[in-house]
Amino acid sequence: MSERFGGSFTQQEPIPEAGIEAALAVLRHGRLHRYNTQGDEIAEAAALEEEFAGFTGARYCLGVASGGYAMGCALRAVGVQPGDPVLTNAFTLAPVPGAIAALGGRPVFVEITDDLVLDFDDLAAKAAASGARVLLLSHMRGHSCDMEALMALCTRLGLTVIEDCAHTMGAEWNGVASGRHGLVGCYSTQTYKHMNSGEGGLLVTDDAVMAAKMILLSGSYMLYTRHRAAPAPEVFRDLRLDIPNVSGRMDNLRAAILRPQVALLAERRARWSALYQAMEAGLAATPGLRLIARPVQERHVGSSFQFALPGWEPARIGMLLSRCIARGVELKWFGVEEPVAFTSRYPHWRYAGEQHCPNTDRILAELTDMRLPLTFSVADAALIARIIREEVLITAQAGVVETALAPEIE
C-alpha cells in the first residue's frame, strides 16, 4: 500500500509558555498600547526592539503592525514619492509590490535566475532604463543572492537597498544577518514566518536619521524617547514636525508573545535546516526534478522547500499536484494561471502595469513550493520526500490528456 502523510501543512507550534504568561500579564494590566506605561515600566514593545536589535547586531530597531507596513515605512522614510519607480524581484509575494504601490510608487520587476535570486544583469538594465534609485530586495522563499556582489553593484548604480526579510529572519550571508546589508531590513512576524504573533513586523537599521523617521512615521507622536533601540532625542528635533504620522505601531500584547521567541531563533533555524536537508536527501537525483542550489555562503532558514520540474507542461504538473494531495502532500505551483490563496505572481498584479519578464515566466512555470512547519519531524520530511519522488516518477511517464489542477489549501 502507498504511504500517506497525515500531518497539517498549516499547523504551527504553540506559543512558548513564557510568551503566553507575558501576554496574560499584559491582558491583566490592560496597558496594550506601547506608550501606555506606569512609572519606570519598560513597555514590552520597547524591550522587544532592544532584544531584536541585539539579535541582528543592528543599532536601531522598530516594531510595527505588519511586515507589509515595515516595507512601506522604510520606503516612505527613504523618500519614495508618488510616481517613483522602485525595483523589486519579479518572483515575490503580493505585499512587496503592494508596499510600493501603496505609496503611489511604480513597481519595476527584475528577472530572477534559475536559483530563484535576483538577476544582476537585468537589475543593471532595469535601473538604467527606469531611473529607479531604490531596490526593494525580496529574499523570496528564503533564497539570498550574493549580497556582497549585490551591494557593490548597487553602489555603482546609485541604488539604495531595502531588504524584505520576511522569509530570512535568522538567516545569514557570510556570517552577516539577513537585513544587515541594506540600509534597512524589514521582517514579518505573521503566523507562517519564523516568529509568530499572528501579524507584526520589525525594522532594523544603523542609520540614525532613517530610524528616527520610521519611528515618527509609525505613530510615536512626541513619545519617541520611550524607545530604547532608538537614536538620541536630538536626532528627532529637526524631523518631528515634518514627518507625517502613518500609524502602524506594534502593541504590547504582540511584543509580549514575541519576546521569548527571539531567543529561540537559532534553535529554530537548526531544526528547519534538518527538515530541509531531509527533503533534499530524499529528492536528490530524482529524474525529471531539479533541486534549487544553495550557495555555501548562505545560512538559510528552511521553512519552505522548492523544486523545479524542467520541461513539464501544465497538465502534467496539475496531475502531480493532484496525486500528491491524494497522499496528503500539499504542493503549490507558481505557474498557476489564476491566483490562488497566497500564491500569485507578477502578471496578476495589474496595478503595476504590464511588464514582461520571460525568464522569470519560464522558471515559475516549472516551480513548485511547499511549507515545512516545525510541527513536522525529520521522519515526516523524509516521508514527504518519498511520496513526492514516487509521484514524480509515475507522473513523468504518464500520458496526460486533461487534468484539473489540485486545489491549494492554506
Going by C-alpha positions, the residue among 383, 377, 359 that lies closest to residue 123 is 359
Residue 270 lies in domain: 265-397
Q: What is the DSSP string of 334-369?
A: TT-SS-BTTB--GGG-GGG-----HHHHHHHTTEEE
Distances 207 to 70, 172, 341 between C-alpha atoms, Å? 16, 20, 37
Answer whether residue 278 shows pLDDT above 70.
Answer: yes
How confident is the model at residue 343, as a pLDDT?
85
With cell 544587515, the residue in question is 180
**Residue 36 grid coordinates:** 501606555
d(CA 400, CA 410): 27
CB 95 within 8 A of CB 69: no
Beta bridge partners of 240: none
User: Are 281 and 323 found together in one domain?
Assistant: yes
Query: How many other CB atoms sit within 10 Å of the CB of residue 8?
Result: 14
C-beta pairs of 127-132 under 8 Å, 24+ apart in sequence:
127/87, 127/157, 127/159, 128/157, 130/85, 130/87, 131/85, 132/84, 132/85, 132/86, 132/87, 132/108, 132/159
In this structure, the answer to whether residues 379 and 272 fall within a common structural domain is yes
Same domain for 318 and 208, yes or no, is no
Q: Exposure string (b/e) for 97-124, b if CB count within 10 Å is 16 or more?
A: bbbbbbbebbbbbbbbbbebbbbbebbb
* Same domain, residue pair 144 and 284: no
Residue 146 lies in a domain: yes
The tens digit of pLDDT for each residue in 189-216 reads 999 999 999 999 999 999 999 999 999 9
Torsion over CA: 337, 341, 346, 350 (sign): positive
Model's pTM, two decimal places?
0.96
State the cell numbers at 154. Answer: 548597487
The domain that contains 171 carries what CATH number? Answer: 3.40.640.10
Is pLDDT above 50 for 406? no
User: Which of 262, 290, 317 is a domain's end point?
Assistant: 262
Last residue in a domain, options 240, 262, 284: 262
- Could you tell me if 242 and 301 lie in one domain? no
Rg (alpha carbons) of the chain, rounded to whole number: 22
177, 204, 117: which is closest to 153 by C-alpha? 117
Query: Are residues 132 and 219 part of one domain?
Result: yes
pLDDT tens-place string over residues 352-386: 999 999 999 999 999 999 999 999 999 999 999 99
Domains of the chain: total = 2
